[in-house]
Chain A
Amino acid sequence: MALTKEQIMKIAKLAMIELTDEEMDKLGSEVSGILDWVEMLHEVDTDGVAPTYQVTGIDSVMRSDEEERFGEPDKLLENSPLEKRAYQVLVKKILNK
């Protein structure tokens, strides 16, 4: 399935990945090629077949709704490359005009 440039741009936007024009061409044709190739699945009859989402046979796993505290917020904040103030990470503005 050959994807149009518009489709590639839409996927990249959904995936939050900025692509250069060069990447757009290269990835676009590679992704199209891979999608062509997986088309072979459509020759398999799956009428009445349930999808497999997990392979352990487990049901819903329950746990008690109790919070667990890591206890060292400073340590966790160390991992962020951003500026911190009062246990908060300072980010750029959220919305563009």
Chain B
Amino acid sequence: MENYTIKSLLKAYTDGVVSPEEVVKDYFDRIAEIDGDLNAYVNVSKDLAEKQVKDGKGGALAGIPMALKDVFTTEGVETTACSNILKGYVPKFNAPVVDRLYEAGAICLGKVNTDEFTCGASTETSCFGPTVNPYDHGRVSGGSSGGSAAVIPSNLAVFSMGTDTGGSIRQPAGFCNAVGLKVKYGRVPRSGVISMASSLDTIGHFTKTVEDAALVLGVTAGKHENDSTSVDVEVGEYMKAMDGNVEGLRIGLPKEYFGDGVDPEVARKVKEAVAVLESKGATVKEISLPMTKYGVAVYYLVAPAEISANMARYDGIRVGRELDPEASSVADQFLRSRAEGFGDEMKRRIMIGTFALSAGSYDDYYLKAQKVRTLILNEFEEAFKDVDVIMGPVSPSPAFKVGELVNDPVKMYMADMLTIPSSCAGIPGLSVPCGFVEKDGAKLPVGLQILAPQFREDLLFKVGDAYEKETEFWKEVS
């Protein structure tokens, strides 16, 4: 199988080497051949893809096969958020961001796995079971966008869409040797993408290269009237940002991102990556972000509070599964369908959120967390006065084993300790492959995390691309 990027596939089409029809068939064949083991796809949309190939829409992504995380609402294609409560839901409309992708000519191969309603760091809370890591099937692909990440190095799609609320794009991208973009909150409209935590959710994507990531953002970014939190800030000329010049770029390395709880080998790989940029003229400075240690605690009050509110709409009446005929009243139906429909992690988060928002707890928990969130945000704003970008590992360890953390919620939450603070601040971040470490005989990918000030995705692309061109770890497919 050819290791296509968006760019190389577009060129192959222009050169007449292959046709979209052949390529899409190849991808479906490969899904049939290897996805039984990986479990990345939860639903393959062959009819839709064939129709899209036939329609032959031109555009920036003409004929490019993609996968969508199963929280993107797709007309005529079952959309479950990988939850039992939504099984059987076939939407009657597309999310605006899906429309933008279709209009640009992208071909939808199908829907891919996520933790239930995107709540998790390993896809183990999905009602379809976990997606395993393409580099070691005994380990997780990360999460929540684990399916979207796993399809990249295994060539089961050329790019994929995901969501990042506390690290759900960057962390699985790091685990799976993919480029993962978490946009500035509000950059891409969330309408029609099933919500988890509304003040934190962002819509981003997975690609093989930084250049491809910039190309996709050019299609998805921009305000939409259906999302009043999407912003009308000019969409940058992302493609032009990547000029390879990092002379004089100021890189900040927060000491907290290399300290306690971070695997020393992971830290070493990231420092090697920083040295590559230093050799190209960037300057490096150690900085301190002391609020980092409070990030996960802030997140696990704010996010569950918003989750408990967003999950209130799943009542088994308007959408979803067959109700229990034994139910004696509407209230009884709610209770029963929610009890059966939500998995353990959803119940846990709904309970925490309900508690944090309840009378008597609100000030001490929810409001307190939102105030500490302000301090986290201020700390990033301060840091960006002295440095252009901040770098660190995406996650404290490489991919962990399936089942390793599943019974220890707090430990699982700590898997996101290096991505959550920037999510709380709403700034954009990029995960770029920066090599491999060996664990128990397996060669596991490590991700370099780059963080930029509000709305500066262009800077992420510039720096990420300059690094990637020197290393090209994306070529080491699974």
| Contact with A55, one of B199, B317, B335 (Cβ below 8 angstroms) | B199
A93 to B331, CA, bound (A): 9
Q: Which residues 7-62 of A have a CB within 8 angstroms of B?
A: 8, 11-12, 14-19, 23, 26-27, 30-31, 33-35, 37-38, 40-42, 44, 46, 49-56, 58, 61
Contact B318–A95 (Cβ < 8 Å) = no
Known: A49-B375, A92-B330. A38 touches B92 (CB 8 A): no
Contact B352–A55 (Cβ < 8 Å) = no
A18 to B332, CA, bound (A): 9
Question: Could you tell me the dominant secondary structure of chain B's interface residues?
Answer: helix
Number of interface residues of B (CB under 8 A): 70
Contact A11–B301 (Cβ < 8 Å) = no
B88 to chain A, nearest CB (A): 8
| Interchain residue pairs with CB less than 8 A apart (21) | A8-B351, A11-B351, A11-B355, A12-B351, A15-B354, A17-B342, A27-B344, A34-B409, A40-B294, A41-B369, A44-B291, A51-B373, A70-B92, A78-B92, A80-B318, A81-B316, A81-B322, A81-B323, A92-B328, A92-B329, A93-B329
Contact B317–A50 (Cβ < 8 Å) = no
Given A79-B320, A81-B322, 11 more A-B residue pairs with CB atoms under 8 Å apart are: A11-B351, A15-B351, A17-B338, A18-B336, A33-B409, A40-B293, A41-B368, A49-B372, A50-B374, A56-B231, A92-B333
Question: Could you tell me the dominant secondary structure of chain A's interface residues?
Answer: loop
Does A86 reach chain B (CB closer than 8 Å)? no
Contact A52–B373 (Cβ < 8 Å) = yes
Contact B355–A35 (Cβ < 8 Å) = yes
In the complex, which of the residues A37, A55, A63, A79 has the most CB atoms of chain B within 10 Å of its own CB atom? Answer: A55
Does A69 reach chain B (CB closer than 8 Å)? no
Contact A92–B410 (Cβ < 8 Å) = no
A26 to B318, CA, bound (A): 31
Does A72 reach chain B (CB closer than 8 Å)? yes
Chain B residues with Cβ under 8 A from A75's Cβ? 92
B375 to chain A, nearest CB (A): 6
A41 to B308, CA, bound (A): 21
Contact A41–B355 (Cβ < 8 Å) = no
Contact B347–A27 (Cβ < 8 Å) = yes
A23 to B339, CA, bound (A): 10
Report the nearest B residue to A60, measured CB to CB.
B228
Report the nearest B residue to A89, measured CB to CB.
B317
User: Taking beta carbons and an 8 Å cutoff, which residues of B are in contact with A?
Assistant: 88-92, 185-186, 199, 225, 228-229, 231, 291, 293-294, 297-298, 300-301, 308, 312, 315-323, 327-336, 338-339, 342, 344, 347-348, 350-352, 354-355, 358, 364-365, 367-375, 377, 409-410, 424-426, 454
Chain A residues with Cβ under 8 A from B355's Cβ? 3, 11, 31, 35
Does A2 reach chain B (CB closer than 8 Å)? no
Number of interface residues of A (CB under 8 A): 52
Which 7 interchain pairs have the tightest Cβ spacing? A55-B426, A51-B370, A46-B371, A61-B228, A18-B339, A18-B335, A15-B354
In the complex, which of the residues A14, A23, A53 has the most CB atoms of chain B within 10 Å of its own CB atom? Answer: A14
Q: Which residues 76-96 of A have a CB within 8 angstroms of B?
A: 76, 78-82, 89, 91-96
A26 to B92, CA, bound (A): 39
Contact A56–B186 (Cβ < 8 Å) = yes
| Contact with A14, one of B301, B354, B409 (Cβ below 8 angstroms) | B354
Contact B300–A51 (Cβ < 8 Å) = no
Contact B372–A31 (Cβ < 8 Å) = no
A57 to B398, CA, bound (A): 35
Known: A14-B354, A15-B354, A38-B301. A56 touches B375 (CB 8 A): no
Chain A residues with Cβ under 8 A from B199's Cβ? 53-55
